[in-house]
């Protein structure tokens, strides 16, 4: 069938693309605050140094709990997208994830921090499915639709780069006393709070543009005519959709598992274990040992005694010294690795957007990223990490390219393989149950199950790095095998 020449986009179409790009940009921005702020936030709220085992334990827990909540409520959001409309739910979800980080930044205990990180994930999980479904139905021209979905999703990786830059900028302003004092928290450690508060940014342009963008005409027409069938979770498991649902869910789980169990865990916990960070670790070690000794002594002391107050002051002074080392030496390296990861992700999303218009087979399109990843991840995490740390960031760039591009892939693929009344429901199940709930638990798998069992690695950081590599290889292999069962979307115009 010959494709007609695409008509130029009008003002409304450009507004739609702008809103979608903002949504994709900031959903990644909100999520990728986590590896940058979680360690210092937990350190302050738990009153332990950043590399304390309790911090490592809670990093895995928080990553998993927030993703679990996002998955559960994101699944409900998918049903709401089919029931109440794409635009309405998308806009609401953006406001949820805009205000939640501000409240997380004002948290004074761990419970509220975790709660508001959970609501942030909920907003992001719902927004992604709503946005890709909305875009898929607003552009009837096939080529324009693929370009719209491919290129707007590329802004998600711009969000990752932006949050890395903002985090560095906030750190600079805090160090130079350019920001006001906050009414809560440790005045010597406010950077993570200010970084979280920048999450309010997407609410401003969305509120301005909201009145000028339309609802999906396809959904609205069926809704008004009474032809829109009632969405049902059970229907996506009926025989005609079962294979599509199961395969998409497994593949989504593998992509998210690689992102959370390999990339994000590496940024939060493995970077300090790089061999060229040995001097930094040496500075921290005596302070950590001193505080462990003080913690044991606290148990037998009266909190009102002078001895307790003296030791408590020593304990806090050590924490401040560790915090300074972390801020000046560890955090910049984390930000550098995350920057390269996000740069790789952006390159992957751009490559996917280009490939969409020239490669018809969805299986081949996926293999472009899966097959290289099977070789890149073991090379980078098992060899480069220990033997060529100066090249590690470049390896993370390549891994980010192979992993993050798959998120754009599913954003383009999923709306095509489910009927109109199930596009939100089906996409939400694959993305949220497979990706957000099952896939993100790989962070817990890496840090709490695989790493403690390893006998290689001279410290916890190195063990986590090896564990991250094992997780990455495992899920890429599972994804590649599963891809052989992937179904191609029906031709346009085919009955649902």
CATH fold for the domain made of 11-483: Growth Hormone; Chain: A; (1.20.1250)
* Window from 289-303, 351-365, 441-455 with minimum mean pLDDT: 289-303
What per-residue confidence (pLDDT) applies to 385?
93
Q: How confident is the model at residue 2 (pLDDT cuts 50, 70, 90)?
A: very low
How far apart are the C-alpha atoms of 206 and 91, rounded to whole Å? 7
- Provide, rounded to the nearest whole percent, the portion of the chain with pLDDT above 70: 96
| Interacting residues of 445 by C-beta distance below 8 A, sequence separation 6+ | 257, 261, 471
Q: What is the dihedral of CA 44, 45, 47, 49, to 10 degrees?
A: -50
How do residues 31-76 score in pLDDT, each as one tens digit? 878 877 888 899 889 887 776 768 878 877 887 788 788 888 888 8
**Cβ atoms of 199 and 101 closer than 8 Å:** yes
Instruction: Pull the structure tokens for residue 26.
Output: 């900031």
How far apart are the C-alpha atoms of 144 and 136, rounded to whole Å? 10
What per-residue confidence (pLDDT) applies to 421?
82
Which whole number is the average pLDDT over 369-379?
97
User: Does 160 have pLDDT greater than 80?
Assistant: no
Helix (H, G, I), strand (E, B) or coil at 409: helix
Question: Pick from 238, 333, 226, 316: which is nearest to 276 by CA?
Answer: 333
Specify the residue for token string 């992957």. Answer: 348
Burial track 312-346 (b if 16+ CB lie within 10 A, e otherwise): eeebeebbebbbebbbebbbebbbbbbbbbbbbbb
Pick the most confident of 255-269, 303-317, 394-408, 436-450. 394-408
Domain boundaries, the chain: 11-483
**Cβ atoms of 106 and 192 closer than 8 Å:** no
Question: Pick from 7, 67, 27, 93: which is nearest to 424 by CA?
Answer: 93
**Cβ atoms of 91 and 203 closer than 8 Å:** no
How far apart are the C-alpha atoms of 367 and 101, rounded to whole Å? 36
Question: Pick from 317, 319, 338: which is nearest to 327 by CA?
Answer: 319
How do residues 300-334 score in pLDDT, each as one tens digit? 777 788 888 888 888 878 877 887 887 778 878 88
Helix (H, G, I), strand (E, B) or coil at 494: coil
How far apart are the C-alpha atoms of 234 and 80, rounded to whole Å? 15
How far apart are the C-alpha atoms of 277 and 280, rounded to whole Å? 5
How far apart are the C-alpha atoms of 463 and 440, rounded to whole Å? 19
């Amino acid at each position: 069938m010959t494709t007609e020449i695409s008509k130029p986009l009008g003002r409304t179409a450009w507004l739609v693309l702008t809103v979608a790009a903002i949504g994709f940009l900031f959903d990644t921005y909100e999520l990728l605050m986590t590896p940058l702020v979680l360690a210092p936030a937990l350190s302050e709220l738990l009153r332990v140094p950043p590399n304390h085992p309790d911090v490592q334990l809670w990093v895995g827990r928080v990553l998993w709990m927030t993703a679990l909540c996002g998955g559960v409520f994101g699944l409900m959001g998918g049903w709401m997208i089919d029931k109440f409309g794409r635009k309405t739910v998308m806009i609401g979800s953006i406001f949820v994830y805009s205000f939640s980080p501000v409240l997380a930044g004002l948290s004074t205990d761990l419970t509220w921090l975790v709660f508001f990180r959970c609501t942030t994930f909920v907003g992001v999980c719902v927004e992604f499915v709503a946005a890709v479904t909305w875009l898929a139905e607003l552009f009837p021209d096939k080529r324009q639709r693929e370009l719209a979905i491919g290129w707007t999703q590329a802004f998600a990786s711009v969000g990752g780069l932006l949050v890395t830059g903002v985090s560095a900028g906030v750190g600079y302003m805090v160090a130079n006393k350019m920001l006001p004092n906050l009414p809560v928290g440790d005045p010597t450690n406010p950077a993570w709070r200010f970084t979280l508060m920048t999450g309010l940014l997407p609410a401003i342009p969305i509120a301005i543009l909201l009145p000028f963008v339309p609802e999906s005409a396809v959904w609205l027409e069926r809704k008004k005519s009474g032809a829109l069938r009632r969405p049902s979770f059970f229907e996506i498991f009926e025989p005609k959709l079962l294979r599509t649902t199961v395969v998409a869910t497994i593949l989504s789980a593998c992509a998210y598992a690689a992102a959370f169990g390999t990339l994000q865990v590496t940024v939060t916990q493995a970077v300090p274990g790089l061999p060229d960070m040995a001097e930094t670790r040496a500075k921290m070690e005596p302070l950590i040992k001193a505080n462990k000794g003080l913690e044991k002594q606290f148990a037998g002391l009266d909190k009102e005694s002078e001895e307790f107050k003296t030791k408590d002051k020593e304990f806090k002074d050590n924490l401040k010294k560790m915090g300074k080392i972390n801020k000046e030496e560890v955090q910049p390296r984390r930000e550098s690795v995350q920057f390269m990861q996000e740069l790789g992700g952006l390159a992957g999303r751009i490559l996917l957007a280009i490939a969409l218009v020239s490669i018809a087979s969805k299986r081949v399109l996926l293999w472009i990223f899966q097959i290289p990843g099977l070789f890149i991840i073991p090379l980078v995490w098992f060899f480069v990490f220990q033997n060529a740390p100066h090249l590690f960031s470049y390896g993370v760039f390549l891994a980010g390219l192979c992993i993050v591009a798959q998120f754009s892939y599913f954003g383009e693929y999923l709306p095509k393989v489910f009927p109109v009344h199930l596009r939100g429901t089906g996409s939400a199940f694959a993305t949220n149950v497979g990706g957000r709930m099952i896939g993100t638990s790989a962070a817990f798998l890496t840090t709490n199950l695989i790493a403690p069992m390893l006998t290689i690695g001279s410290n916890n950081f190195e063990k986590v790095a090896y564990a991250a590599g094992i997780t990455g290889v495992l899920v890429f292999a599972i994804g590649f095998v599963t891809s052989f069962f992937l179904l191609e979307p029906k031709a346009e115009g085919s009955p649902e």
